[in-house]
Amino acid sequence: MIRAVLTGTGSALPARRVSNAELAERVDTTDEWIVERTGIRFRHIAGEGETTATLARDAAVAAIAAAGVTPQDIDLIVLATATPDNTFPATATKVQAMLGINDCVAFDVAAVCSGFLYAVQVADSMIRAGAHRRALVIGAETFSRLLDWEDRTTCVLFGDGAGAIVLEARDSADDNADPAARGILATRLHADGRHNELLYVDGGPSTTGTVGKLRMKGREVFRHAVINLAAVMEEALVAAGLPIEAVDWVVPHQANARILDATARKLSLPAEKVVMTVDQHANTSAASVPLALDQAVRDGRIQPGHIVVLEAMGGGFTWGAAVVRF
C-alpha cells in the first residue's frame, strides 16, 4: 500500500534568545516562578526581518536537504500557523515563492497549537489518496507578536520558531506490526469549540479589524490538556494496532513541562521516552512538535525503525496525535 513516509526534518529559530531573567526586567515575574511552574528557561523572539514565512522557509530548506530532494520535487505545501505574515495570502504561498516553486498546491491550516497535527493528517490523506507524491508540512509561528507584554500570566510562556518535515509517497507493508510498514501509521484529531473562550486572541479581521492579543485561562487549559492528550495518544495507538510498549519516543507539544510529565504518568510512559525542548524554546504553538522532532532526529535519538508518537493540543480546543514509524 501507499503510505506517507517521513524522509526529512528541519527547523529554524530566531537569532535572539531571551532568558527568564531578561523577561523579569520587563514584567513582574522571576526565573524561579517560570521554571517551577512551566520548566521554561529560554525562548527565541523574532527580530526585524524575521517573520513566520522566513522562519518557515529556513525550516523547509533544512527539511528538503535532509530528505535529499529539491524544492521542485515538492508538489504540496501545508503550513500550520496562527500568526500568518498577512491575513491573506496564505503564508504557505509566500514560502512557496521563497523556495522558487512555481506550481504546487499550497495552503495554511489554522488549528493553533495542534495545527501541525492537523496539517500532517491533511497531507497524509492527500498522499494516500494518490493526489500528491511529495509534501512539505510546516509549523511556523511568531507568537511574540500576539502577546500582551503587560500580562505576566501569558507573555512568559511563548516563543517563536518553525519546524518542517517532508512526507513522500512510498510503497509500504500493510500490517503495522511489520517493521517494513513505514511512515504515518495512524492519526486522530479532535475539536471542541465549547472551549473557545479559554484560549483565544481578542481581535481579528471580521470582528475588531485589529490583530488582537492572546488571552488564556491557564489553569483550565492545563486540566483539559492532560486528559485530552493522554486520551488521543491511546486512541491513535489503538488505531495503529500498537501497544504503548511499542513506542520508542513521544514528541509532544511543548507547552509546559508539568503537562508533559503528568501526561506521561497517566499513560505509564517512562519520562526518558518523552522529547522535551520546552526549557529551550517555550511554547512555539504549531512549530513546537516539528521543532522538537527535528532536534531528536538530528541528535540521533530517533533512529530508522523507531515508533514515534506526535501529539498536541491548543486553542479551540483542538487536539490530535499521530503514530509514525521512521
Interactions with ligand COA, residue window 77-106 (CB under 6 A): none
CA atoms within 13 A on the CB side of 304: 4
Gap between the Cα atoms of 294 and 290, Å rounded = 6
Among 62, 113, 269, 286, binds ligand COA (CB under 6 A): 113
CA torsion, points 214, 55, 22, 157, in degrees to nearest 10?
A: 30
CB of 314 to ligand COA, least distance (A): 4
Question: Which range in 13-21, 78-86, 220-228, 239-247 contacts ligand COA by CB under 6 A?
Answer: 220-228
Question: Which range in 87-95, 124-132, 162-170, 251-259 contacts ligand COA by CB under 6 A?
Answer: 251-259
Residue closest to 288 by CA, chosen among 192, 190, 191, 164: 164
Question: Which range in 102-110, 161-169, 212-220, 268-276 contacts ligand COA by CB under 6 A?
Answer: 212-220
37 touching ligand COA, by CB under 6 A: yes
Gap between the Cα atoms of 53 and 59, Å rounded = 10
189 touching ligand COA, by CB under 6 A: no
Nearer to ligand COA, 7 or 142 (CB): 142
253 a catalytic residue: yes
Enter the DSSP assignment of 271: G
113 a catalytic residue: yes
190 touching ligand COA, by CB under 6 A: no
Residue closest to 113 by CA, chosen among 284, 310, 324: 284
Nearer to ligand COA, 117 or 313 (CB): 313
196 a catalytic residue: no
Task: Decide if 192 contacts 93 (C-beta within 8 A).
Answer: no
221 touching ligand COA, by CB under 6 A: yes
CB of 216 to ligand COA, least distance (A): 6
CB of 222 to ligand COA, least distance (A): 4
Question: Which range in 80-88, 151-159, 174-182, 272-280 contacts ligand COA by CB under 6 A?
Answer: 151-159
Task: Decide if 110 contacts 139 (C-beta within 8 A).
Answer: no
**Residue 146 CB contacts under 8 Å (≥ 6 apart), including other chains:** 82, 83, 201, 211, 212, 213, 214
Gap between the Cα atoms of 4 and 171, Å rounded = 9
Gap between the Cα atoms of 61 and 260, Å rounded = 30
Among 191, 218, 239, 248, binds ligand COA (CB under 6 A): 218
Please identify the residue of the shown chain whose CB is closest to the bound ligand COA.
Answer: 218
The H or E element containing residue 319 is strand 318-325
288 touching ligand COA, by CB under 6 A: no
CB of 143 to ligand COA, least distance (A): 10
Catalytic residues, which ones? 113, 253, 283
